[in-house]
Amino acid sequence: MLILYTALLYLLQPAIWLYLWIRGRKSSSYRQRLAERYGFCIGKVNPYGILLHAVSLGETVAAIPLIRELQQRYPHLPIVVTTMTPTGSKFAQHIFGTTVSHVYLPYDLPKAMKRFLNTTYPKLVIIMETELWPNMITLLHARNIPLIIANARLSERSAKGYRIFGRFMAMLLQRITLIAVQNQADSQRFLRLGVKHSQIVVTGSLKFEINVIPELLEHATRLRREWVRHTRPIWIAASTHKGEEKIVLDAHCQLLKSFPDLLLIIVPRHPERYKTICKLTQKHNLEYLVRSSKKTPSLNIQVVIEDSVGELRLLYAISDLAFVGGSLVEHGGHNPLEPAAHAIPILMGPHTFNFTEICHHLKQAHGLMSITDAKSLHQEINTLLTNSNYRLHCGQQAWNVLNQHKGALKHLLNVLNPYLTKRKNHNECTTKTFSSHDN
């Protein structure tokens, strides 16, 4: 099965190149650093440390508190952060700068992955959530390098798909050192796939480990003061996907009839789409500006469109309420706890399977409202803006849910500690031995 998987992956390479070329027409970053995707990263990473993989932006955001704690607890260990998408890459570089090394994780081809491991020599590999790369898992197991899946989740739909591969999937999962799952339901699904009880630990969700730093609040206070000279309300549509911006703008047009000074901030999940959103905003006859212009929105500006990465938390902090995207289209939704950290009400569509349990807790506490279209979005926002006490109450409830479920980070760090304190020389010798054979 592994041979067939690898052969298929090799056959797909031309299609992957074509995909990167097409995406590169809108964002040149997709065509850059191609060598990294095949394991060529000499001089870009510091070896013999921790390798943490966060496939995209969402996983990178969730990994922030973990990476910062690892830096404090193990300052002698370099950290290499890998992603697969340019958005995740830009965010990692924006947050951590040169304090960590960052490269793309290579495609799961044997030679590319060997080349990568022969450069990084990781002491421990941490994969955020559930990215299962068969060749990577096999190579790490052969080299006796511990692999931990952190913040792991497994939906029933994904589990059903994995069960198709039966024994192969069970064999692969048993090569993972430890799977730190978010809850008992995830644990049971992994166990049914063949994972041993000794490989599973329930640590909770790292998504709850969000802390608003004082510097961010200070920046937000200054920005809000610049933007809001007449106490105009602000709402944000965050991490939006194609098809959602039209719904958001339709609702905004209706809201302006009751709240003529209302300001909307649109933050697309993929910033390279901002030009398309600008055209759509023009079609709605709305006045807008692009965030990178650094201009202060005057009272005649009705929409601000974000065209870069790294400011979402700042923009949540100046908003009165938030719609979280990826939920009106079948993408599964994005993290509603980021706005909850700023004690503002949250609105999401029906497609929230990426955050099922989190959304359940928020709904129960009345911190999250479900909407289905422009009409229901307009109605909910109208209610929140009309009744400030209700709006503040819903925001406080969302904040309470966030803080009531913290603790996963501390638990996970205790789980990781044995793998980072007792393997100093053994791991280096093992990887060097394999390196001579691989080359």
Question: Over the stretch 26-57, which tens digit does the pLDDT of each residue have?
Answer: 788 888 999 999 999 999 999 999 999 998 88
Question: Distance between CA 325 and CA 434 in Å, rounded?
Answer: 45
pLDDT lower than 50: segments of the chain: 424-439
**Residue range 61-113, pLDDT digits in tens:** 889 999 999 999 999 999 999 999 888 898 899 889 999 999 999 999 999 99
Q: Which residues contact 413 (CB under 8 A, 6 or more apart)?
A: 66, 69, 70, 73
Burial grade of 210 (CB within 10 A; 0-12, 13-18, 19 or more): buried
With contact defined as beta carbons under 8 Å apart, do 236 and 303 qualify?
A: no
Closest by CA position to 250, among listed 293, 209, 204, 303:
303
Residue 332 CA: distances (Å) to CA of 240, 246, 349, 354:
12, 19, 9, 5
Task: Measure the CA angle with vertex 36, ends 30 and 42; round to 5°.
Answer: 150
With contact defined as beta carbons under 8 Å apart, do 438 and 114 qualify?
A: yes
Give the model's pLDDT for residue 230.
Answer: 63
Buried-state track 272-299, b at ≥16 Cβ within 10 A, e below 16: bbbeebbebbeebebebbbbeeeeebee
Hey, CA dihedral for 220, 225, 226, 232, is it positive or negative? positive
Question: Distance between CA 187 and CA 202 in Å, rounded?
Answer: 7
18: how many CB neighbours lie within 10 A of its CB?
10
H helices within 82-241, ranges in order? 86-96, 110-120, 134-142, 156-163, 166-173, 184-192, 214-227
Closest by CA position to 138, among listed 163, 117, 154:
117
Give the model's pLDDT for residue 425.
Answer: 45
User: Active site includes 59?
Assistant: yes
Give the model's pLDDT for residue 437.
Answer: 39
Closest by CA position to 327, among listed 224, 238, 267:
238
Q: Which fold has domain 214-404?
A: Rossmann fold (3.40.50)
Residue 139 CA: distances (Å) to CA of 56, 160, 228, 289, 297:
23, 26, 55, 49, 53
Q: Which of 59, 209, 245, 306 is catalytic?
A: 59
Closest by CA position to 186, among listed 202, 206, 173, 169:
202
Helix (H) or strand (E) holding 234: strand 234-240
Note the CATH number of domain 2-209+410-438: 3.40.50.11720
Q: Tell me, what amino acid is at 136?
A: M
82: how many CB neighbours lie within 10 A of its CB?
26
User: Domain boundaries in the chain?
Assistant: 2-209+410-438, 214-404
With contact defined as beta carbons under 8 Å apart, do 277 and 245 qualify?
A: yes
Question: Distance between CA 78 and CA 114 in Å, rounded?
Answer: 20
Residue 382 CA: distances (Å) to CA of 255, 321, 340, 364, 385:
7, 11, 19, 21, 5
Tokens 């080299």 locate to 143
How far, in whole angstroms, is CA 361 from its chain's centroid? Answer: 20
